[in-house]
Structure formats: structure tokens, C-alpha cells
Amino acid sequence: MKERFFEVASDADEKQEQQFDTWLSGKGIPFVNTDAEEAYKDRVMLIKDAIQLKKQPSRIAICPSAGHFPVQYGGISMYDAMYDYDALSQAWKKYCDDFTPDAYNAPTTVVPGSVLDILVFKLCRWPGHGVSEKNGYQYVEKAYMKADEYQDLIDDPTGFFMNTYFPRIFGALKPLQKMPLLPPVNEIPCIPPALFPFGDKEIQAAFSNLAKAGQETVRWRDALRRLNGSIMGMGYPAFSGGFTKAPFDVIGDTLRGTREVMMDMYRHPDELLEACERITPFMIKSGVASCKAAGHIMPFIPLHKGADGFMSDEQFQTFYWPTLRKVIIGLINEGIVPQLLAEGGYNQRLDVISDIPKGKVVWWFDLTDMARAKKTVGRVACIAGNVPLSLLCTATPEDVKAYCKDLIDVAGKDGGFIFSTGAGMQGAKPENVKVMIEFSKDYGIYQ
Amino acid sequence: MPDDLVDAMVKMREAEAMELAQKMLDAGEDPLQVLERCREALEIVGKQFEAGKYFLPELILSGEMLKRISKIAKPYMRKESDKKTEAKGTVIIGSVKGDIHDIGKDIVVFLLDINGFEVHDLGVDVPAEKFVEAISQIQPAVVGMSALLTTALESMKNTIDAIKNAGLRDRVKIMVGGGAVDEKVRKYADADAYGPDAVAAVNLSKQWVEEKSY
């Protein structure tokens, strides 16, 4: 088989420039006036310069991760945010208007609750469904894929998701376990047997629920589009658009679960590695496609199981990094800039993750030592981060200011830095968010 | 052969460990001795974890091996040989209300357990009342609270407030930990100590139980 996603393609630079041009153009954004359009372009340039490491930006872009902070700040519950798209939009707009971060996060993680209701989603508990109305949704970890199903996943990832995984995580899609496997439908006698399932009442009901859920999702998307237009129209780009994950996390987070995937490194190492390889092209393609749909250059890639303390360096280099690196290279080759959020600490990983082409990704850190990150990863990539959530939730504005000053001094030196938080800001004190953004915008100007 | 079992478990050779344990039991070895070997192995695994040489895979897999061996040893156990060893001290622990994450908490439970503590795991999404009730009934020396989500920090504070209001605060030492927690949070919630990892939780518990016994 042909080895792919090892080397940077010769036209990767050109493709990245094209992607930046599209993002920078702001095409389709309803700008309120030319000043807003100018401001939008200036802000995109701050981010572009920080990423490419070719020149120092005029100042540091201030791009905290909103998380679900705007919901709480807007005085609505998480239930309201997930079920009432106008309430969600108003809360989000208020956050952007009041705090004016250089780039905002669209509320794509505040998913429509009624869609989860229609599909009887089982992978999470959400407000009003297992957690209180004011709380956010939380994952229910379980082995949704059994150990002896690795081979099924490897043989046919699409079929496995459709016929086995979806019926388990969506109650309303249970009938899909009767769906035919599609590749054998290649000659005329194969057509009728492939169609029998579609005549089945239960399968028809599942598709009708999918249609209902689809309609509702379109309503949500339209509300978000109006919201995004109104924020971008004032001159603020989105910090990310699109989404993908490290292959190991795909297997570990929501297929096998943490406990099982950790043991699989000993019990089923070959299958685990092969499964990670097998879904790598899917993760690249979905990263590219979701970026394209969002009109953005940076897919958000939250990293979970590779953090310090989860696994040894050897395990990281064997099981986690090789396929994540392939996803990174695959995205770069399409001109996309992977935005990798290393949740937890990555102090042990800094040298290994520096093995990437220069000026092509954003490494965003949470609890990692930013001075060390700057000296290692910072030589080849834009680094971002890392105001701690505990600080924003519990400290005084003076403490926040002191942290931001240190952070900018250490990580912001000579460019290549985007100012952000270590994680989504839910639970933060508004006065701390305010001082963080205002102080850093001013202090982050390069002389 | 007993040392082979320890070695197989410590080196994560699961199939071999299971086979050895079964052979020992079949040969008439005291099942408690077999489990004692497992405990030894887990202690070594715990030490390797503390030393930063072993991580979650080894911790979880060795716990799983112990579970499997306990299960096959059970039919061999005679009632009278089922004597309990004295626990080092009692700890109750749980993820606070609003947080359903358990892995960090479970690792603390695991390490406390192999270090000889009697651990009462209250589970996840534990309301303040349940902590209060467990403290008055079980009378532990140490209470552990975990939170991964920043939104659960308020509930950590509320739980400690509830313990105060019930007049139980002076009777226990409270340690807090989890992804969202640090020293600032400890201060905010008014716990006695923050532990950055499971090893810290064991050390804190040891220290507090020793202090209490004087």
C-alpha cells in the first residue's frame, strides 16, 4: 500500500496562501461599513502573521476560548442555550459586544437539544436529560465498541459506524443495524437484496427521524449563520472553523472509552494501531470538509489521551503521535492550518511534537510550561494559550493581569504567539475576563 | 512460582499471570496467598506509577488482572480464611455534584486501596448531603473531592459549606483534586489541601491519618 501523509507536498505553501486569501477576503460577510471590513482584515492578518512565523505581527491577537461562558454571562441556562436559538444568539452577541476579543468562537459546541431528543442520543447527558438545566452536557464513557469489533471497524469504518455504532449511541437509529453493507451492490441481481431493508417499517421510521433531526439542525444552523454574520460584520473573525480529532482519541474517547483503550495498548496493540491508521484519512477529509463548510482555515482539534500522565513517552510515540502527525500533514497538504489544543499538560511531549513543518500549525496549550513550549515547539509553530481557568474562576483581576503580563513576556516574544485561555471559559468571573482581554490587547502591542 | 506471578503482573503479561494464578489455585495454594502476591504486584505497579515510569495503561490493566484473579480465587476460599487486615485509615471520596467524570477519582481510589486505606467511593455527581451523611456515618479521617469541570467548582465550595453547616468540618481533613482544581480553587472552596495527582492524595491521606492517631 502507498505510504501517505508523511511528507509535506510541494504545493502546500501555495495552498495555504490560497486558503488564507479566502479567509482574509471576508467574502459573503455582511460588513456594517468599510471600517469593520478593514478591522476584520487587520485581525485576520494578526493571526496569519503569528502562524506563518515570517514576520512579527503588529500586536498579539487576543483570542480566548469562550467555551460556554457567554451562556452564563448572558443570564440564560444551558438548557435555554441548547433549545432556544434566539436566546443562544443574543447571549453570544452580548459576550462579543461586551468583551470584543480579536477572534470569537462560534457557538458550534452548543448543539441543538431537540436534535438529541429526536435521535435519543446516549453518549451524553445534557441539560434536562441527566444533568441540571444550568449545567453543560457531559460524556458518558463506556465501551461503545467491543474489543472483538476492531476488525469490523478496520474492514469497513463507514459500515461499522452506520450499522453498529450509530444504533448504539442513537436510540432512534437502532434499526440501522439492519442496513445492508454497500460495497457488494455492484451488479443487477444485488440491487433487490440491498433494497429490502428500506422497505422495513422500523428503518423507515429511523430515516424519518433523521429527516426531522436534519430539519431542526438546519434551523439551528440558520440561526448561527445570522449570529456569525452579525459578529463578523462588526469586524471580528472566528478563531476556528471546522473540527477533527487525533485518530487515537477517536478510538479512545467515544468508541472504546479511556479504560478500555488504555488496556488495548497491551491487549490489542496491533488492532489498535491498525484502526488508528484506518481512520486517519477519514479524519483528514472531515477536517478539510468541515473547514470548507465553515469558510475557515483552522479546524479545532482538541487532544485528550496523549497528555502527560496518561501514557508513557514510548506509548505516546507508538500509539498516539504517528497518526496524529499524519492528520496534521494531511491537513497541511490541503492548505489547512491545524489548531491543536493540547488539553492538560504536554511538558513531556514538546520535543516529539516539534517534528512538524515550520509555520503551518497552531499548538495551543493548556497546563504546559509556556517558556519551555516557546523554546521548543515555538521554533517551528505558532503557540497559543494558556490563561488557566482556575485563575479566571477564582482569582482577583490583579492576579489575572499579573499572569497575562508574564505570559505575554514569555510566550509573546518576537511573535509566533496567539493569546488565549487554557480551555473554554465556563465558570469564569466576568470581571476577570474583561481585565484579561483589555490588559492583554494593550500590553500585547509590539514596539 | 509465586514470584513469577508477581513478575508477570508487574510486566503486564496478563495471559501468563492468569495462567500462573490458576495453576497455583489448582495446586492447592491458599487463595489468600495468591491474592497477597497480586497485592505485592500492584504495590510495585503503584510505585512505578509514582516514579513516573508507569502510567494509566499499567495502572488500569493491573487493577483488571487483580479483579480477574480475585474472581477465579473466590471459589477456592474458605470462610474462616477470609480474615480482614486492619486498614490504615478511612477515606471517603467522590466527584462533586454536577460532575460525572470518574477516571481521576478512580485512580486515587486505586492507589489508596493498594496503600492499605479503607476507601468509600461515593461515585460521581455526589450531592453535598450525601457527603455530609457519609461523613457522619462512616466517620472517615479524610474526605476527597474531585472536579474536572470548572462549573463544578462552585459545587465543591457548596459541599464544603454544607459540611461546615453540619458541624463536621473539624472532624475531617478535606483534599481536593481533578482537572479543574488547583491551589487557588482549594483556597476558594476552603479545603485543607490540593493534590495535583493521585500520588499526592495518598501522601496527604497518610500524613493526616498519622497526625490523627497521635
pLDDT digits (tens, 9 = 90+) for A301-341: 999 999 998 999 999 999 999 999 999 999 999 999 999 99
Report d(CA A262, CA A265) in Å as an integer: 6
CA torsion sign for A156, A7, A347, A382 is: negative
With cut-offs at 50, 70 and 90, classify the pLDDT of residue B106: confident
pLDDT at B47: 87
With cut-offs at 50, 70 and 90, classify the pLDDT of residue B208: very high
Pairing relationship of beta strands B90-95 and A417-421 according to DSSP bridges: unpaired
Per residue in A204-214, pLDDT tens? Answer: 999 999 999 99
If you average pLDDT over residues A268-297, what whole number do you get?
A: 97
Name the residue facing B150 among A265, A266, A427 (closest C-beta).
A427
Q: What's the per-residue H, E or C state across chain B? A: CHHHHHHHHHCCCHHHHHHHHHHHHHCCCCHHHHHHHHHHHHHHHHHHHHCCCCCHHHHHHHHHHHHHHHHHHHHHCCHHHCCCCCCCCEEEEEEECCCCCCHHHHHHHHHHHHCCCEEEECCCCECHHHHHHHHHHHCCCEEEEECCCHHHHHHHHHHHHHHHHCCCHHHCEEEEECCCCCHHHHHHHCCCEECCCHHHHHHHHHHHHHHHHC
Write out chain A residues lying below 8 Å of B55, CB-based. Answer: 309-312, 315
Of the listed ranges A72-86, A267-281, A328-342, B38-52, the least confidently predicted one is B38-52
Burial of residue B197, with CB atoms counted within 10 A of its CB: 0-12 exposed, 13-18 middle, 19 or more buried: middle
Name the residue facing A262 among B14, B60, B102 (closest C-beta).
B60
- The verdict on a CB contact (< 8 Å) between A138 and B179 is no
If you average pLDDT over residues B127-153, what whole number do you get?
A: 92
> In whole angstroms, what separates CA A178 from the centre of its chain?
32
Write out chain B residues lying below 8 Å of A135, CB-based. Answer: 98, 151
Any A CB within 8 A of B65 CB: no
DSSP code of A337? -
Asked whether A374 and A383 are in contact (CB, 8 A), the reply is yes
pLDDT at B84: 54
| pLDDT exceeds cutoff 70 at A286 | yes
Write out chain A residues lying below 8 Å of B197, CB-based. Answer: 309
pLDDT at B81: 46
Enter the ipTM. 0.90
| pLDDT exceeds cutoff 50 at B44 | yes
Q: To the nearest whole number, what is the mean pLDDT of chain A?
A: 96
Tell me the domains of chain B and their CATH numbers: 2-81 (1.10.1240.10), 90-213 (3.40.50.280)
Name the residue facing A426 among B125, B150, B179 (closest C-beta).
B150
Query: What are the two backbone dihedrals, phi and then psi, of residue B8, each rounded to the nearest 5 degrees?
Result: -60, -40
| pLDDT exceeds cutoff 90 at B80 | no
Write out chain B residues lying below 8 Å of A303, CB-based. Answer: none
| pLDDT exceeds cutoff 50 at A90 | yes
| pLDDT exceeds cutoff 60 at B82 | no
If you average pLDDT over residues A428-444, what whole number do you get?
A: 97
Q: Which helix (H) or strand (E) holds A384?
A: strand A382-387
Q: Which amino acid is at A67?
A: G
- The verdict on a CB contact (< 8 Å) between B185 and A393 is yes
With cut-offs at 50, 70 and 90, classify the pLDDT of residue B214: low
Query: Which site among B12, B56, B187 would you substitute to test the A interface, given the most A Cβ atoms closer than 10 Å to its Cβ?
Result: B56
Report d(CA A444, CA B4) in Å as an integer: 61
For the whole model, what pTM was predicted? Answer: 0.91
pLDDT at B85: 60
| pLDDT exceeds cutoff 70 at A241 | yes
Tell me the domains of chain A and their CATH numbers: 12-65+239-443 (3.20.20.210)
DSSP code of A128? T
pLDDT at B107: 82
Write out chain A residues lying below 8 Å of B103, CB-based. Answer: 141, 258-259
Name the residue facing A389 among B64, B103, B150 (closest C-beta).
B150
